[in-house]
Amino acid sequence: MAERAFSATRLPGFATVAIVVFLALYAPIITLVVFSFNDANSVAVWGGLSWRWYQVAWENTLVKEAAVRSLIIATSAALIATTVATMAALGTTRRAAFRGQTAIYVIINQPLMVPEIVTAVALLIFFAWIKVATGYQGLGYLIAAHSAFCIPFAYLPIRARLEGMDLSLETAAADLYATPWQAFRRVTLPLLAPGIIAGAMLAFVISLDDVVITEFVKSGGQDTLPTYMLGQIRRAVTPDVNAISTALLALTVILLTAFFLLTRKRD
Amino acid sequence: MPNADLYDHGRAAGGWLVNKDVAVEVRNAVKAFGQGDSAVRALDDVSVDIRKGEFFTLLGPSGCGKTTLLRLIAGFETPTSGEILLDGKDITQDPPNRRPVNTVFQSYALFPHLTVAQNIGFGLEMQGRPKAEIAAVTANMLALVQLGPMAQRKTSQLSGGQQQRVALARALAPQPKVLLLDEPLSALDLKLRKEMQIELKRLQLETGITFVFVTHDQEEALTMSDRIGVMSAGKLQQIGTPREIYTSPLNRFVAAFIGETNFLSGKVEPGGVRLPSGDLVEASGTEGRSGQVTLAVRPEQVRLTRAGEPGALAATIANWVYFGTDTHCHVTLSDGTQVVARLQNPASGESGLERGKPVALRFAPGAAQVLGD
């Protein structure tokens, strides 16, 4: 009898560990979702099923404004970050390896490595100068900040997609009389599209739930959904936060599922 | 080696003439990669004329510069110095999309998001040809490579051999002046490769397009080509018909790379070359040579005869290997040199070969060839 290959699933206690881990990951989220449908005034005592807190949240103009602001920022940041990331990915992969390539990867992915709080403080000070110099107070600061830290999240799936694409595809297009623009438009872009969409969705989700940088950069009256919720919870834990969180969760799950389906396709 | 020896036409006294029979002319092409002392010369002063309508093969081991030369003609690389002419027109600086030259890539490089028909029509579409013409040419091409029923498939649904045909049809559809083929058969298995060799030759004859074919496979080169350019270390070592390359190799590299060869050293004397064993061998290519030279003799041109025959080289049988159609007999000359003779097997009976048996060698007339350095 040949010995069977090592398998973690046959280690003693595997099932127990798995259950504990899944409970730790999902029990709080399940509780949150369940209690968002709670009819009672408390976040801890169950009082029957209802849409009550969703209604409360929906009728709260502050929540609605914060939600719209969040969507504006996340959409703008995703668009800007994805555009920049696509250009960066094309520049770093559609050519032979070059000196300094690793350094460029590190620079592009810098927001993943620098502690977020450091970036937040740096942006606070930097934007303060600009505010003084220009007098501009709008959402532009938040959009700029979010775009910057979303770039690596958009860059990674786009680069992964490009690295799986034979460099000779564009060469073949050029050989078949395509101008550089035609080669990009007709060959590179259609093949890259799933990567770009995946990158944009990832950037959108990352922007949507950012707290730290937003908290530092926002001016008065510029709460996003997460910072609004943080503010609420500081005063009192109200069940409408559960409802807003569950709505955010649903949106994120839908986008991430689409992300995985798109990146998995055509492999 | 003097480059002028390689030329059999095209260079009239005192200048460059536009030769109507020449499709591609490469003049003194140099391609260096890297800079300064670490620069590598992938192509080192290569000049060649490729004639219209011929099947020209660039043959050489990997890293010899054959693919670089192909990429230079396609326009994917620019030469460090030198010129490329197409139909007498200088195209050295033209980008690939402005050269009426198409390539069949080693990896095929088919567009995975397009159908077979869209792949084949791509070149024509980029040229801005009318839709009706694209459809007609695509249909013709599909028929030419026998892929009609596959027109609407995605290329990923095709077998390797079918993908190869799509790549060919795609490159032929815009009717290029020259078709470049970069080791297109290397990814196919042996049987398919043999079929595609015949197929390629047929397509070349039917379309009349000049083919420039890159390969490291000597058999492929010998069977398909009108002429072969043998490359090594960034230089063209010899240009000639398959027969010329095989029977009259110019130097040791060509002789060793194509087929099997016995190398014998000796001294040029009146009437032939004197081997260390003292025997005088009649050889071609002694004119203008003196001193030590290397002789090349193909194993199938070596004959074994009875020991002691006058004028033959005394030898002993060291070993022999049976191959079915023939037997490779390894013999040792009196000075210790090993020579291989390829002997056709008799229809029946024993070969009479025995290890240690004294025999004599004779080379077929004109078989012994003095090599250049």
Is the model's pLDDT at B9 over the cut of 80? no
Domain that holds residue B9: 3-100+176-252
Within this chain, do residues B292 and B333 fall inside the same structural domain, yes or no? yes
- Any chain B CB within 8 A of the CB of A178? yes
Which whole number is the average pLDDT over A158-178? Answer: 92
Q: Which residues contact B71 (CB under 8 A, 6 or more apart)?
A: B77
B81 in any annotated domain: yes
**Which tokens is A177 given?**
């009389």
Within this chain, do residues B194 and B338 fall inside the same structural domain, yes or no? no
Within this chain, do residues B94 and B9 fall inside the same structural domain, yes or no? yes
What pairing do the DSSP bridges indicate for beta strands B210-215 and B55-59? Answer: parallel
CATH number at residue B270: 2.40.50.140
Within this chain, do residues B195 and B90 fall inside the same structural domain, yes or no? yes
Is the model's pLDDT at A170 over the cut of 80? yes
B294 in any annotated domain: yes
Nearest CA in chain B to A187: B111
What is the rounded radius of gyration, in angstroms, for the C-alpha atoms of chain B? 25
Least confident of A83-87, A127-131, A216-220, A260-264: A260-264
Distances (CA, A) of B26 to B30, B92, B212: 10, 9, 13
Helix (H, G, I), strand (E, B) or coil at A26: helix
Chain A residues lying within 8 Å of B112, measured CB to CB: 191, 266
What pairing do the DSSP bridges indicate for beta strands B313-322 and B302-306? Answer: unpaired
The model's pLDDT over B87-125, given as tens digits with 9 standing for 90+, comes to 989 999 999 999 999 999 999 999 999 999 999 999 999
More confident residue, B44 or B350: B44
Which whole number is the average pLDDT over B150-159? Answer: 90
The whole-chain average pLDDT of chain A stands at: 88
Chain A residues lying within 8 Å of B105, measured CB to CB: 168, 171-172
Within this chain, do residues B292 and B358 fall inside the same structural domain, yes or no? yes
A5 in any annotated domain: no
Within this chain, do residues B326 and B301 fall inside the same structural domain, yes or no? yes
A55 in any annotated domain: no
Nearest by CB to B103, which of A175, A186, A191? A175
Within this chain, do residues B234 and B276 fall inside the same structural domain, yes or no? no
* Domain limit, last residue, from B202, B218, B252: B252
Within this chain, do residues B317 and B343 fall inside the same structural domain, yes or no? yes
CATH number at residue A214: 1.10.3720.10
Percentage of chain A exceeding pLDDT 70 = 97
Nearest CA in chain A to B114: A187
Nearest-10 crossing angle of helices A101-108, A61-93:
180
pLDDT confidence band for B195 (50 / 70 / 90): confident
Cα B168 from Cα A101, distance rounded (Å): 36
pLDDT, residue B177, reads 94
B160 in any annotated domain: no
Percentage of chain B exceeding pLDDT 90 = 53
Within this chain, do residues B269 and B360 fall inside the same structural domain, yes or no? yes
Phi, psi dihedral angles at B78 (to 5 degrees): -105, 140
Number of domains making up chain A: 2
pTM for this model (two decimals)? 0.79
B118 in any annotated domain: no
Interface A-B, measured as beta-carbon pairs within 8 A, has a size of: 62
Helix (H, G, I), strand (E, B) or coil at B66: helix
Within this chain, do residues B315 and B340 fall inside the same structural domain, yes or no? yes
Which whole number is the average pLDDT over B214-230? Answer: 93
Do the Cβ atoms of B11 and B64 come closer than 8 Å?
A: no
The model's pLDDT over B164-184, given as tens digits with 9 standing for 90+, comes to 999 999 999 999 999 999 998
Is the model's pLDDT at A267 over the cut of 70? no
* Domain limit, last residue, from B252, B282, B302: B252
Cα A109 from Cα B31, distance rounded (Å): 37
Cα A84 from Cα A89, distance rounded (Å): 9
Nearest CA in chain B to A193: B113
Cβ within 8 Å, pair A179-B97: yes
Which whole number is the average pLDDT over B317-336? Answer: 89
Within this chain, do residues A124 and A211 fall inside the same structural domain, yes or no? yes
pLDDT confidence band for A3 (50 / 70 / 90): low
Within this chain, do residues A131 and A215 fall inside the same structural domain, yes or no? yes
Cβ within 8 Å, pair A176-B113: no
* Domain limit, last residue, from B236, B252, B268: B252
Within this chain, do residues A21 and A66 fall inside the same structural domain, yes or no? no
Is the model's pLDDT at B5 over the cut of 50? no
Q: Which residues contact B109 (CB under 8 A, 6 or more apart)?
A: A166, A168, A169, A171, A172, B167
pLDDT, residue A95, reads 76
Which whole number is the average pLDDT over B329-333? Answer: 92
The whole-chain average pLDDT of chain B stands at: 88
Within this chain, do residues B80 and B12 fall inside the same structural domain, yes or no? yes
Percentage of chain A exceeding pLDDT 90 = 50
B110 in any annotated domain: no
Within this chain, do residues A142 and A254 fall inside the same structural domain, yes or no? yes
pLDDT, residue B270, reads 86
DSSP codes joined into one string, A37-91? TB-SSSSSS---B-SHHHHHHHH-HHHHHHHHHHHHHHHHHHHHHHHHHHHHHHH
Cβ within 8 Å, pair A175-B96: yes
B296 in any annotated domain: yes
A4 in any annotated domain: no
pLDDT confidence band for A216 (50 / 70 / 90): very high
Domain that holds residue A16: 11-50
**Which tokens is A205 given?**
């989700």
Q: Which residues contact A174 (CB under 8 A, 6 or more apart)?
A: A180, A183, B75, B76, B95, B96, B97
At CB < 8 Å, which residues of chain B contact A? Answer: 74-76, 95-98, 101-103, 105, 107, 109-113, 122-123, 126-127, 170-171, 174
Within this chain, do residues B277 and B205 fall inside the same structural domain, yes or no? no
Helix (H, G, I), strand (E, B) or coil at B284: strand
The CA angle B72-B26-B43, to the nearest 5 degrees, is 55
Within this chain, do residues A192 and A222 fall inside the same structural domain, yes or no? yes
Is the model's pLDDT at A47 over the cut of 90? no
Number of domains making up chain B: 2
Cα B263 from Cα A140, distance rounded (Å): 80
The model's pLDDT over B224-263, given as tens digits with 9 standing for 90+, comes to 999 999 999 999 999 999 999 998 898 999 999 998 899 9
Nearest CA in chain B to A194: B113
Cα B363 from Cα B358, distance rounded (Å): 17
Within this chain, do residues A165 and A210 fall inside the same structural domain, yes or no? yes
Per-residue buried b or exposed e for B101-112, using 16+ beta carbons within 10 Å of the residue's own CB = bbbbbbbbbbbb
State whether ipTM is beyond 0.90.
no
Which whole number is the average pLDDT over B305-315? Answer: 85
pLDDT confidence band for B17 (50 / 70 / 90): low
Within this chain, do residues A35 and A83 fall inside the same structural domain, yes or no? no
pLDDT confidence band for B13 (50 / 70 / 90): very low
Is the model's pLDDT at B151 over the cut of 80? yes
Strands (E), B222-357: 227-232, 235-240, 262-269, 272-274, 280-281, 292-297, 302-306, 313-322, 326-333, 338-344
pLDDT, residue B18, reads 53
pLDDT, residue B4, reads 44
